[in-house]
Amino acid sequence: MTDTKIYKADRIFTGDTWLNDQVIISSAGIIDEILPVSSFPEHGSLENFPGCFIAPAFIDLQIYGADKKLFAVYADADALVKLKSYCNRGGAAYCLPTVATNSRDVFYKCIDAIRAYWNNGGEGILGLHIEGPWINSLKKGAHIESFIHSPSLDEVKELLEYGKDVIKMITLAPEICNEKVIDYILSSNIIISAGHSNATYKEAKNAFQHGIRTATHLYNAMSPLQHREPGLVGAIFDSNVMASIIPDGHHVDYAAIRIAKNILGDRLFVITDAVTETNQGYYQHHLAGNKYESAGILSGSALNMNKALQNLVNHVGIHLDEALRMCSLYPARVAEKDHELGRIEKGYKAKLVVLDDKMQFVKLIE
């Protein structure tokens, strides 16, 4: 008996180029090779997807919950299973569950839940993304102001020690965190993303030069680009950092995404920022059309990654191949996983998404 799997579709997008009349050969979850249809092996199980194309599976680095289980409220394995299932239905094989500004107890419970999920063999959860509470209250958005503060080094050390190997990303406002705090987080191999920030252009540029290499949900909850003070948006445009964006048509106008894409190129990547209906906890999200609000404030999207891809192509006008990279390769690059995810090539994980010719989700291959 062989565990060789063979995947065939009308086209394959490798992350770089489109291939016709080729098949993907994998075993033990790893891509072995890509071969012409005429020469693939007879052994192995074949899955054929006529009228479809195969691309690298998507990666969502900011999502808060799914199916009425906000992770910050339900810090347990079932919430993570539901969250992963939601991501899978949108073509994402991996995600970073995210917890917004909250109490220390909530952060600790979420860390414990992810650790338990991993210990029980759970897959697809890359770790934890903590958004706040070390942000600027002037750009809090829907975050709870009573928890927002500038951190001491001791507080940071305590949280990072408890969340060792679980916390993968922290969104903070660089102007309210001193250099020792920034240095300590970076030395712990945690990605810092600048967000919910009122930083001046100079403050933001200094932070980027100091090692911060990512920004959270471009345009939203950050100092805007103005002609006399370019702000955080201007600093992102005028640097080499990457930035996430929420392409739901509510958080950012599609024209603004197009402008950012023309400037940032391969530095712009997609997040869903998706939340779920809940009337428990500090963040009570309610569906308002095809977005979520909390206390009347825009608080999260109703996106999945497949819908985000469709919006990029249909409303922003980004070519399909580049839109696919924004949902897969570029998030993999931010997460430092682009050596094994985001491409279809030998030695990479066989995490694949199948879409039809209208970009509708067909299947996630894991």
Residue 356 bears catalytic tag: no
Q: What is the spatial distance between Cα 238 and Cα 258, in angstroms, rounded to a whole number?
A: 16
Q: Is 289 exposed, middle or buried (0-12, 13-18, 19+ CB in 10 A)?
A: exposed
Helix (H), strand (E), coil (C) string for the chain: CCCCEEEEEEEEECCCCEEECEEEEEECCEEEEEEEHHHCCCCCEEEEEEEEEEEECEEEEEECEECCEECCCCCCHHHHHHHHHHHHHCCEEEEEEEEECCCHHHHHHHHHHHHHHHHCCCCCECCEEEECCCCCHHHCCCCCHHHCCCCCHHHHHHHHHHCCCCEEEEEECHHHCCHHHHHHHHHCCCEEEECCECCCHHHHHHHHHCCCCEECCCCCCECCCCCCCCHHHHHHHCCCCEEEECCCCCCCCHHHHHHHHHHHHHHEEECCCECCCCCCCCCCCEEECCEEEECCEEEEECCCHHHHHHHHHHHHCCCHHHHHHHHCHHHHHHCCCCCCCCCCCCCCECCEEEEECCCCEEEEEC
Q: What is the spatial distance between Cα 258 and Cα 241, in angstroms, rounded to a whole number?
A: 18
Q: Which of 60, 248, 273, 338 is catalytic?
A: 273
Query: What amino acid positions are annotated as catalytic residues?
Result: 273
